[in-house]
Amino acid sequence: MPPISSGSATPAAWRAGLDPVLERLDGEGASLIETTLAWAAVNSGSYELSGLARMRSILADAYSALPGAVEAIELAPSQRVRADGEVSPVEHGASLRIRVRPEAPVQVALTGHYDTVFPALHPFQAPRREGDLLRGPGVADMKGGLCVMLAALRAFEMLPGEKRVGYDVLLSPDEEIGSPASAALLAELGARAHLGMTYEPAMASGALVDARKGSGNFSLALQGRAAHVGRAFADGRSAVLAAAEAALALDALNGKQEGVTFNVGAVDGGGPSNVVPERAVLRFNARAPDTESVAWAEAEIAQIAAAAGKRDGVSAVLHGGFARPPKPLNESQRTMVDWTRQAGAVLGLDLKFQASGGVCEGNNLAAAGCPNIDTLGPCGGGLHSDEEFALASSFAERAKLSLLLLTGIERGAFDVASLRQ
C-alpha cells in the first residue's frame, strides 16, 4: 500500500468549486431513477446465470464511462450441499472490476453486487414508481446502489486537476448468497485499499450502518439407515430424527451468549411415511457480534454436530462456517462514521448510524483490514421481499454524499494516513 500524507485541508478548501457538480447531480436524479428501474427489470437472481450475464453486459457498458478498463473476472465454482447430503458445484459467472489510477497514493475500494434474491420465476418482476417510492427487485438492494456509485464516480472524475485518489470498483454476482466465489477478490481488494465504500441501501429513515454482526451458514448432512417400518422398524436409524434433535439443541443456544443467534432454516430429508429416513440435511445460520462470540458459536456447533454423529447408526458431516466475519465499531470505523457525518452536514443532513445484524461485503472488507462505510446506496426498505422499495428523492442526495466523501479524501480534508495505523 503506498504511503500517504495526512489531511490538512480546511472545510472551505474541501468544498471549493463543488457547487456546479453538486447541482449537476441534482439534475441527474430523474435519470438515476429511470436507469434503476431499467436495471431492476433484468432478472439477475443469484443462480440465474443467463440473467446475470445480461446484467453484467449492461453494467460493463455503463461503467465504461470511467477512465479505467472494465475487466470480467471469472469466478471459480463454489459448493452446495444437496438434499441428499452430497456436495455439488455451483457456477457463478464473473465479477466486474474497473481499476482507475492504481498508482495513486490513496486507494479506495468501491464494491457492489448485481445479483438479487429473486429467481426468474418469482412474481416480483415488474419495477415501477409510485410517487416517491420505487418498487421492484433490486431497486434498493442494490441496482439502485450501483447507479448511485456510478453517478458519484462520474462526478468525481469531472473535477479538474490531477488526482491523488485511485480506486477499484468490484461488482459481484454472488453477494446475496454470501459471496462464496467473490470472497477472495474482496479480501485482495480490502488488503490493498486504504478505505472502502459499499453501496447497500441506507435505512428508509436515512440512517446508515456503522457495525455488523458476523454470519455463518451451515449444513449438517446426516446419514442413517433405511428400513421398512412394518417389517424391520427396529433396524432403521432415522436421519430426520437426528436432524430434529440437532435443531432443538441449536435453538436452545439462543440467549446463552449476548448477541449470538441461531436460526434453523430448513431440514431436507425423509420420504414415504412407511420408510425410516436414511438421509437428512439440517441447514442453519448463526450470527455473532465479535470474534470471541464467533469462536463460542463455532465450538457449540461442533459439539452438536459431533453428538449427532454419535447416535447409534448415524454419521454426520458438518459443512460451512462464518464466511462473513463481524465488523465491529473500532476506532477506524468511528473515524469513517465521523467523515461521513461531516460530508452529510455539507448537504444539510444530520446523519444517524446504527448497528445491524445483517451482513454484506463491508464485513469482508473490514476483515481484510479495510475500514468502510457500507450503506451508501439510496434509502429504502422491505429488502429480500416483494415489498422492497427505494426512495426516489434519496438518489441524487446519496450520490452527492459519496462525491463529498471522495472529494474530502482527494483534497486532504480527511486524514487517510491515520486509518490503518
Q: What is the mean pLDDT of residues 128-144?
A: 97
Instruction: Tally the residues of the chain.
Output: 421
Residue 146 has pLDDT above 90, yes or no: yes
Q: What is the mean pLDDT of residues 241-254?
A: 98
pLDDT > 90: what percent of the chain? 94
Q: Please report which confidence band the pLDDT of residue 5 belongs to, taking 50, 70 and 90 as the band edges.
A: very low
Residue 16 has pLDDT above 90, yes or no: no
SS3 for 92? coil
pLDDT tens for residues 85-110?
999 999 998 999 999 999 999 999 99
Residue 7 has pLDDT above 60, yes or no: no
Residue 3 has pLDDT above 60, yes or no: no
Task: Please name each of the domains of the chain with its CATH number.
Answer: 11-212+327-418 (3.40.630.10), 214-324 (3.30.70.360)
Integer CA distances (angstroms), 103 to 83, 165, 166, in order: 48, 9, 7
At 15 the pLDDT is: 85
Residue 414 has pLDDT above 90, yes or no: yes
Residue 38 has pLDDT above 70, yes or no: yes
**Cell numbers of 39, please?**
436495471
Residue 284 has pLDDT above 50, yes or no: yes
- Rounded Cα distance between 164 and 105, Å, is 6
Residue 248: CB partners within 8 Å, gap ≥ 6?
Answer: none
At 339 the pLDDT is: 96
Q: Please report which confidence band the pLDDT of residue 67 belongs to, taking 50, 70 and 90 as the band edges.
A: very high
| 85: region left, alpha or beta (phi > 0 left; psi from -120 to 50 alpha) | left
- Rounded Cα distance between 196 and 189, Å, is 9
At 2 the pLDDT is: 46
Residue whose C-alpha is closest to residue 175's, from 164, 163, 186, 190: 186
Query: Are β-strands 379-381 and 202-203 bridged in parallel, bridged antiparallel, or unpaired?
Result: parallel
pLDDT > 70: what percent of the chain? 97
Q: Please report which confidence band the pLDDT of residue 8 belongs to, taking 50, 70 and 90 as the band edges.
A: low
**Cell numbers of 413, please?**
480534508
Residue 172 has pLDDT above 80, yes or no: yes
At 278 the pLDDT is: 97
Give the pTM: 0.94
At 119 the pLDDT is: 95
Lowest mean pLDDT among 11-15, 23-27, 117-121, 276-280: 11-15
Residue 110: CB partners within 8 Å, gap ≥ 6?
Answer: 149, 153, 167, 168, 169, 170, 196, 197, 198, 199
pLDDT tens for residues 372-405?
999 999 999 999 999 999 999 999 999 999 999 9
At 244 the pLDDT is: 97
pLDDT tens for residues 198-234?
999 999 999 999 999 999 999 999 999 999 999 999 9
- Rounded Cα distance between 119 and 125, Å, is 9
